[in-house]
Structure 1
Amino acid sequence: MRALDNIRVLELAGLAPGPFAGLLLADNGADVLRVDRVQPGHTPSPDVLIRGKSSICVDLKSPAGTQLIQRLISHVDVLIDPFRPGVLEKLGLGPDVLLKINPRLIIARLTGFRRDGKYATMAGHDLNYLAVSGVLSMLGPSVRIPPLNRPLPPSPPGNILADFAGGGLVCFMGIALALFARVTTGKGQVVEANMVDGVSYLATAPRISSKIPGQWDRPRGENLVDGGCPYYRVYECKDAGQYMAVASLEPKFFQALCIGLGLSEKDWGGDRENREFWPAIHVLFEKTFRTKTRKEWEQIFDGPAVHRF
């Protein structure tokens, strides 16, 4: 038996984070019915996060559509609302209405910005939410580029962090906690999730660590695990477009890395933890990785010589 067997979910179709929350529920046993918009000519939904779900098309702006949703609400445990603030209320499907129909209902409301902030009704995308949260400023290298001798802007990391991690995953966690609470209280509740706060929460450790020397106290791209450390970064191999990811923070893993590369401390001249040697280590690693193809490096680092530690 999966954890969410016998849990019924009504997912109002949206973009990325809402469907991802529904996918997580379905993957864990919930019966998820997605409510798609009526498209001319029976156009298929562009949503790719449909695994394990059923689907119906409903015109939520019609009286018949809202009545159907109200009838379904009596039989479900969770409603996923991906709309901007006020949309469900305008449709006559706000929490005050739905919780009267089904007091055990959990209404998961997922927005980009905070529901009570000045950006509440503003549209946005992953990159906007990352920027407002402050997390975007942590991403990307800080190598200074001529002619202005300034670093490139922060790098967009796809839409994984805000949409899926800070949005859909955090919303899923809120739903799971609300289901757990309902066991004790017998009552549903409104779960509020937004991508700005969600992704900001994910960055709790880096924010706190910014006060600890040697961790996140430097500009982006110059810290221990954001690309500043030469033994925690990505290197290009001899074959263009092929890379090796290096994460050898612990001494024994660093020793295994050096065995595989055929290098030692004498090649860069000092203690690897001394940041003064990091540029030299980086250049040396960069040159060394470019002497072999990724396949050749894979064979080396899969071998017994680097695993005996």
Structure 2
Amino acid sequence: MTVTSGAGGPLDGVRVVEMGQLIAGPFCGQLLGDFGAEVIKVEPPGQGDPMRQWGQPGYPLFWEVLGRNKRSVSIDLREPAGQALARRLIATADILVENFRPGTLERWGLSPDVLRKDHPGLIIVRVSGYGQDGPYAGRAGFGGIGEAMGGWRAIVGDPDRPPSRMGVSIGDSLAATFACLGALAALRHRDRTGEGQTIDSSLFESVLQVMESLVPDYVVAGHQRARSGAILPGVAPSNVYPCQDGEYLIAGNQDTVFQRLCQAMGRPELAADPRYATHQARGERQAELDALIAEWTAGLTVDEVEAAMVEAGVPAGRIYRAPDMLADPHFAARKALTELTHPRWGRFVMQSPHPKLSQTPGSVRRVAPQAIGQDNAEVYQALGLPESEIEALAKTGVI
């Protein structure tokens, strides 16, 4: 179902075959589709992608985000006839995205070597827990496992509690984003040489990429980062502070910013106090300084604190939830949310494609496939399969 028209996007003309499920592979497909690629999602007949059932009871809405701008075909990849059909489909693609356990494509006769014999320009994006090689490659790996191995889980949460999770599947999303980056780089290489290649994006290494100086901190300084709750140790003030009607985040840790914060609080003397005047001094008295700021914010509403921070030029912000996003004028001005009329859910609002491109922006052109294999006839007829063959494949359960 087409939702918006507009420009096709910078990837218009690029065909992606997505053979994966859950989050890591499909999110990579979503990103490519948002910017104009034609994405054909391959699902198992009958059951489809498990994400079709995930979510709040009766509301599997994450599927509607992950599946946007895609068409759905069904293929039983465990059957030889299904593997042959998949090869035929992949032969028309620029990019293949998969997030099966390493070795799965090979068992199905769909290894990169086999696929590139007749299609040397094919780009194959492989997303997995531990990567395509190494001693752990064959292990099952979900996003949380990659977050643990990559170092994320060890530093998230309060110091007196077990490691926490982010609340979203950040490991999967990071692996998908790096996979998409790899696919775009490979497209550039193919434009110059005609050669395809394989992108190997592991969950744990994708998380590792955003862990800042965690490893050098230990190797050079012998420091191991630990869970610190809402603060970053030694960086103060930077915390969430209580107001009369909610919570508010203030980041005033730079010297000049701290001076402006003190003025806004009516406590200019704090900026000149040797206990707080420098970054190092504030870090040494972090809890003490947070208590002083919390005492001030507790007597004000969120609106009052925000007005003071905006006037003073202090980086600060509300703790947003969905209703706040829907009501916020900046979200509206930036078109950060896309609203459409969905055939099943009615009014439907979700995040817009990102980042913003000035000449060839992304768009939501099609809602997620509502039925497994709903585009079988259209896609397979375009491959040259006669209607009788499509019907035969359906009768035998291959599609």
Task: Provide TM-score, normalisation by structure 1.
Answer: 0.84
Corresponding position: 1:91 with 2:92: no
Which residue identity is paired with 2:173? F
* Structure 2 residues not aligned, in runs of 5+: 1-6, 54-62, 316-399
> Do residues 233 (structure 1) and 231 (structure 2) align?
no
2:275 to 254, 263, 270: 270
Aligned to 1:243: 247
**Partners of 2:49 and 2:236 in 1: how far apart?**
54
Deviation at 1:265, TM superposition (A): 4.2
Point out the more displaced range, 204-213 or 189-198: 204-213
Q: Which position in structure 2 is the counterpart of 1:208?
A: 216
SS of the equivalent of 2:17 reads strand
Q: Tell me: CA distance 1:295–1:212, structure 2 relative to 1, closer, same or farther (3 Å).
A: farther
1:182-201 matches, cutoff 5 A? 182-201=190-209
Counterpart for residue 252 of structure 1 = 256
Shift of 1:15: 1.4
Q: How does 1:1-309 map to 2 (within 5 A)?
A: 2-39=9-46, 45-46=52-53, 47-48=63-64, 49-142=66-159, 151-165=160-174, 167-208=175-216, 217=223, 219-221=225-227, 226=232, 228-239=234-245, 242-266=246-270, 270-272=275-277, 273=279, 274=281, 275-302=283-310, 304=311, 306-307=312-313
CA offset at residue 94 of structure 1? Answer: 1.4
Q: CA deviation at 1:246?
A: 1.4
Contact 1:127 1:159 in 2 (8 A): no
Task: Give identity over the alignment, percent.
Answer: 31
Q: CA RMSD in A?
A: 3.0
Amino acid at match of 2:95: V
Q: Which amino acid aligns with 1:297?
A: V
AA in 2 matched with 1:39: G
CA contact 1:113–1:196 (8 Å) conserved in 2:
yes
Greater length-normalized contact order (CA 8 Å, ≥ 6 residues apart):
2
Cα deviation, 1:215-262, whole Å, max 9, x if unaligned, reads x946435699725533112222222xx321112232232223223333
Structure 2 Cα separation of the partners of residues 197 and 262 of structure 1: 47
Deviations 1:17-74 (A, max 9, x none): 1111111111122111111221259999343301211111222122332222111112
Structure 1 residue matching 2:199: 3-state secondary structure: strand
Question: In 1, Cα distance between the equivalents of 2:243 and 2:314?
Answer: 24
Q: Structure 1: how far apart are the matches of 2:67 and 2:161?
A: 37
Distance change in 2, residues 1:245/1:137 (3 Å): same
Amino acid of the residue matched to residue 172 of structure 2? Answer: D
Residue 95 to residue 301, structure 1, CA distance change in 2 (3 Å): same
- 1:31 and 1:138 map into 2 onto residues whose CA distance is 39
Shift of 1:160: 4.1
AA at the equivalent of 1:201: Q
- 8 Å CA contact 2:97–2:125 kept in 1: the answer is yes
CA distance in 2, matches of 1:253, 1:86: 53
- Relative distance call for 1:283 and 1:217 in structure 2 (3 A) is farther
Return the offset for 1:77: 0.3
Q: For residue 55 of structure 1, give the secondary structure of its aligned residue in structure 2.
A: strand
Deviation of 1:118 (Å): 3.0
Kindly provide the amino acid, as one letter, of the partner of residue 238 in structure 1: Q
Change (3 A) 1:20 1:44: closer
**Structure-2 separation of matches of 1:160 and 1:255:** 38
Which AA in structure 1 matches 2:297?
F
Corresponding residue SS for 2:209? helix
The CA deviation at 1:11 is 0.5
**Counterpart Cα distance in 1 of 2:48 and 2:250:** 51
Contact 1:13–1:37 (Cα < 8 Å) also in 2: no
